[in-house]
Structure 1
């Protein structure tokens, strides 16, 4: 119960900070759907999810952002995973955004433990307010060893506003 209260408070605080950010600072707010593959110990499963976040311009051509996500590994014993991730990188005019990321995700399996993750990605504009992205994440082994090291490669499609 305490974890639920802590995660709820963290989520509410993050969303409040995003809502109060001034337009002059905000580069973009985004929402997306994504799907891909998750692999660990010789097993590969599909994954689906949604995410929303905001990126802030630090200096011309650089940004820092935060996102919340909800993902589901397509396995019989998997549960929905909430994640909170920070990302930062560069904006390349002809390509889009290239970034590194790091974050925290709740336990992906019953009896498992939460995971830290890190990775990288590319977000490419498809139009004025839409994008596609390709992202890789490496999830660390849980402290109790129940949740093993795993990797994920996802493709996402989203909108900015």
Structure 2
């Protein structure tokens, strides 16, 4: 988790050094719940991404993340993915998300996640968000679901 925080801090420092543009770099802390048919556990993590405007109403973005299930015998899961969405109101983004993430534990499988979310600006630089993903695990392992809420800063 320390490596993830240092990496995201480096991305944030680089973003601060760049001039302001319509597109945005974002860094966030997030937490939530992961569940499957029989268990549920808390999740905490960080993410960094870049959104590119496709006109006034649409955007596309990329994201990297580091999340940890807060249970024994788990490890940080690294993720990479993207999102596409619409600016539905001033300061409000509605989006679909897809990505891949590494294993949460030694004997788990990596997963592909699909879902959606909403992001709401709070002032000029800050935002809050809520996101849901269905994780397609495969290899006869039950799929899982993740609900996340986050708070972030835009550069």
| TM-score in terms of structure 1 length | 0.81
Deviations 1:57-88 (A, max 9, x none): 01221000000000001111211100001100
2:42 to 32, 41, 46: 46
Equivalenced residues, count: 142
CA distance in 2, matches of 1:62, 1:24: 19
Q: Would you identify which runs of 4 or more consecutive aligned residues in structure 1 move more than 6 Å?
A: 22-25
CA RMSD of aligned residues (A): 2.2
The answer to whether structure 1 residue 85 and structure 2 residue 81 are counterparts is yes
Instruction: Say if 1:25 and 1:57, in contact at 8 Å, map to a contact too.
Output: no
1:64 to 60, 64, 76: 60
- Matched ranges for 1:112-151 at <5 A: 112-142=108-138, 144-145=139-140, 147-151=141-145
CA distance in 1, matches of 2:21, 2:144: 35
CA distance in 2, matches of 1:151, 1:95: 27
Seen in structure 2, the aligned counterparts of structure 1 residues 110 and 87 have a Cα distance that, compared at 3 Å, is: same
How far the C-alpha of 1:26 sits from its partner, in A, is 5.3
Deviations 1:29-84 (A, max 9, x none): 00000000111122110000000000000122100000000000111121110000
1:27 paired residue number: 23
Structure 1: runs of 5+ lacking an equivalent: 1-14
CA distance in 2, matches of 1:39, 1:79: 16
How far the C-alpha of 1:94 sits from its partner, in A, is 3.8
- Secondary structure of 2:60's aligned partner: strand
Seen in structure 2, the aligned counterparts of structure 1 residues 30 and 95 have a Cα distance that, compared at 3 Å, is: closer
CA distance in 2, matches of 1:95, 1:27: 13
